């Protein structure tokens, strides 16, 4: 009979400078009467922050005897020495994380209103500590469709 439980919290919190290049190309219409544009852009950043992991794992086992009775451990409180193991990992370290991203989409603009949709991808290199006993960096990516709605309120 085996039992195992675990909980893990892994995160990165950082901030830093970002450079962004946005562009668009008119496809249909004009600014005064409404237009549709093809939009694209790229971004790069360097984030300075802290990467941390807090993990707790518990595992245990019991042996059955010949008549299918559990020998010596009815509940977790009865596990004898050598039958259970608890491991805890708590690490926190400063980390510099580069980020690259980009998007492609389309926008429809009329007067002070604009709706945009498209596809965006962002990757943070080495942002997460995915290791157990020792640190091991993993990339973290966010990607998928997006939609923005903007309405100007004056001016």
The pLDDT value given to residue 73: 55
CA-nearest of 21, 28, 20 to 107 is 28
Mean pLDDT of 16-39: 93
Task: Give every CB contact of residue 71 below 8 A, 6+ residues apart in sequence.
Answer: 62, 63, 64, 65
Q: Mean pLDDT, the chain, as a whole number?
A: 86
CA–CA distance, 19 with 10 (Å, rounded to integer): 27
Q: 60 near 76, Cβ under 8 Å?
A: yes
Tokens read off for 147: 């939609």
What are the φ/ψ torsions at residue 89 (nearest 5 degrees)? -125, 120
* Residue in 123, 55, 125 with CA at minimum distance from that of residue 91: 55
**pLDDT tens column, 67-115:** 555 554 555 455 454 567 788 889 999 999 999 999 999 999 988 899 9
Q: What is the pLDDT of residue 155?
A: 60
pLDDT digits (tens, 9 = 90+) for 37-63: 999 999 999 999 999 999 988 887 766
In DSSP terms, which residues pair with 28 in a beta bridge? 36
pTM for the model: 0.73
């Amino acid at each position: 009979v085996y039992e195992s439980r675990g909980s893990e919290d892994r995160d990165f919190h950082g901030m830093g400078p970002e450079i962004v290049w946005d562009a668009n190309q008119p496809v249909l219409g004009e600014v005064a009467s409404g237009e549709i544009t093809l939009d694209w852009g790229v971004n790069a950043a360097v984030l300075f922050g802290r990467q941390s992991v807090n993990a707790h794992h518990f595992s245990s086992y019991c042996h059955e005897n010949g008549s299918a009775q559990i020998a010596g451990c009815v509940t977790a409180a009865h596990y004898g020495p050598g039958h259970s193991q608890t491991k805890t990992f708590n690490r926190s370290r400063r980390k510099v994380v580069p980020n690259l991203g980009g998007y492609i989409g389309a926008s429809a603009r009329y007067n002070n209103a604009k709706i945009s949709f498209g596809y965006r991808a962002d990757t943070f290199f080495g942002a997460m500590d995915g290791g157990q006993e020792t640190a091991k960096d993993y990339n973290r990516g966010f990607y998928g469709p997006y939609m923005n709605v903007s309405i100007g309120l004056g001016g």
